[in-house]
Amino acid sequence: MAVLTREALEASPLADLHVIAREIGIDGFRRLRKADLVDTILERQGGAEEAEADSGADATAEEETPRRRRSRGGRSRRKAADEDGATDEDAGDDEPAETPAAARDEDDEDEAPRSRRRGRRGGRGRDRDEDDRDDRDRDRDRDRDQREERIAEGTVELLGNGSGFLRVSPPEPSDDDVYISAAQVRRCELVSGDTVTGPVRAPRRSERYPSLVRIDTINGKPADEVAEGTPFDELPATWPAERFAFGSEDPTLKAIEWLTPIGKGSRVTVSGAAHSGKTEALRRLAEALAAVEGVEVSLVLAGVRPEELSGWAVEPAAALTFATGPDAQTQAVERAVDTARRVAARGGDAVVLVDSLDGVEARAARKLMASARTIVDGGSLTIIATATAPVGGETTVIALDELLTRTNRLPAVDLVRSGTLRPELLVGDAGAEAIAAARVAALEGES
C-alpha cells in the first residue's frame, strides 16, 4: 500500500477514509471522528512500515512457503492482505476454518443488517449519503438560527382573543407579519398602534406565521421600562370632568348629553326592562362616540340576539349571542377592558361599549365596571354597558322607560331613575341646576 500523508488524508472524504481503515484492519473506525481517524490511520501505517522493515530478511523464506502459511491459519486473502500488505492469489482455494477476523470486527462495530454491507462501492455511496444528510441538517440548523436572529419592526394589531400581529406593512396584512402571543401582550401591556421591535423565529410545522421571540422595544423605549409602570389599579383617579359632546339632534342622544351627561372616565349603565330600547340607545351612542377624535372605541356584544350582531358603527371586538355560556361572555368583556386599561395607562382615552352585562356574574360585572376611571394627569377609561338593572358603583345611570319606548315617545329616558354624580363638573353649575329642575318636573308629572 502506498504511504499516505496527513495532508492527503485530511483532504479525502470520510467515506474514502472508512475504506482505507477497513483495508488496514482498524477496529471501530465508524465511531471515530475524522481527525481521530486520520491519526489512527497514520499510526497504523507507521507500525506497518516498521514491521515490514524488521521482517525484510525473512521475505524470501515466506515467499517460498506460501502453502505452509495457508495451512497454519486458514486465513482468507483479505486477512493476509491486511497483515502482509499483499494479496495471496491462492488463498481463496481452501474454505476458511472460521469466520474471518475482519468480518467479525465489522459485525461487532456496525451491529447493522447484512444488507447494508454489500461491498466497498456500496458502502462508499452509503457513507456519502450520510455525509450529505449531515451537511443538509447543519445547513438547515444554521438557516434556522439566522432566521431566529432576524429583528422585526412593525405596528401592533390586537385580536379579539387577546393575541395579536405585528404588521410590518401597516395597515394591510401580509405574509411577513409576525404573530404575538396573548402572554406577551399581557406582560408588555401592548395596545393596538404600538410600534414594537424584537427577534423573530421561523414558523414551525403547524404554524403559518413567524412568531415574536421577545419584545425589545415599545414605541422606541425598552420594553422592561414600559412594563414596569405603576399597576393600573394603583393609579390615582378623579371625578370625570370632560363631557362627551355629541352635538346630535337625535332626541335620545340629546337627552343623554344634557340630562344624564357622560364624561371621560365615567361608569355608565343603560338600564331598563326588556324591550325598553337599551340596545338601540347603545347603538346610537356607539355611532356618536366613533366620530369623536382622539378616542379609541371598542364594542363587545355578549348575550345579544342574533339579529343584533350587525349594523353597528363600530366593528365588534367580540360578538356572542345569548346562547353562549356566561364564562365565554365574561372573558370576552374582560379582554376588551384589559386592552382599554392599557390605553388609559399610556395616557390615551378609551371607551368600551358592552351589550350586555346580564350574562356576566354580578361580582365579575362590578369588577369590570370598576376599571372605568379618569386617571390623574393621565388618560381615561369609560365603560358604557347595558343591563336590566344597575350593577353598582356607576357615576351615571341612564334608565329607560319601557312604556315610552313602546309608544315611541322619545326620548324614553326616565329622569327620575336616571342621574349623574357631580354633574356640575361636566355641565357647570347652571347645567346641574337645569338637570335638577327637569327631574323635579318629571317627578311631579308622575304624581
pLDDT digits (tens, 9 = 90+) for 141-165: 555 555 446 899 999 998 878 899 9
Looking at residue 277, its amino acid is G
Instruction: Return the pLDDT at 204.
Output: 86
pTM of the complete model beyond 0.75: no
Instruction: Return the pLDDT at 139.
Output: 58
Q: For residue 201, give the 3-state DSSP assignment.
A: strand
With bands split at pLDDT 50, 70 and 90, how would you rate the model's confidence at 33? confident
From CA 335, how far away is CA 190, in angstroms rounded? Answer: 12
The alpha carbons of the chain give a radius of gyration, in whole angstroms, of: 42
Total residues found in the chain within this entry? 447
With bands split at pLDDT 50, 70 and 90, how would you rate the model's confidence at 66? very low
Instruction: Return the pLDDT at 124.
Output: 52
Average pLDDT, integer, range 216-233: 83
Domains of the chain, first to last:
7-144 (no CATH), 149-229 (2.40.50.140), 237-446 (3.40.50.300)
Q: Which of 284, 252, 278 is nearest to 355 (CA)?
A: 278
Q: How many Cβ atoms from other residues are within 10 Å of residue 274's Cβ?
A: 8
Instruction: Return the pLDDT at 230.
Output: 78
Looking at residue 92, its amino acid is G
Cα distances (Å, whole numbers) of residue 289 to 218, 261, 352: 28, 13, 10
From CA 280, how far away is CA 298, in angstroms rounded? Answer: 17
Q: Is the pLDDT of residue 112 over 70?
A: no
Indicate the helix (H) or strand (E) that contains 167. Answer: strand 164-167
Give yes or no for a cis peptide into 411 (omega within 30° of 0): yes
pLDDT digits (tens, 9 = 90+) for 375-425: 999 999 999 999 999 999 999 999 999 999 999 988 999 999 999 999 999
Instruction: Return the pLDDT at 62.
Output: 45
Q: How many Cβ atoms from other residues are within 10 Å of residue 405's Cβ?
A: 21
Instruction: Return the pLDDT at 391.
Output: 94
In sequence order, what are the residues at sequence separation of 6 or more whose Cβ sits closer than 8 angstroms to the Cβ of residue 301?
308, 309, 312, 316, 318, 319, 320, 355
Average model confidence (pLDDT) for the chain?
80
Phi-psi region of 76 (alpha: psi -120 to 50; beta: other; left: phi over 0): beta
Q: Which of 115-129, 259-273, 345-359 shows the lowest mean pLDDT across its residues?
A: 115-129
Give yes or no for a cis peptide into 356 (omega within 30° of 0): yes
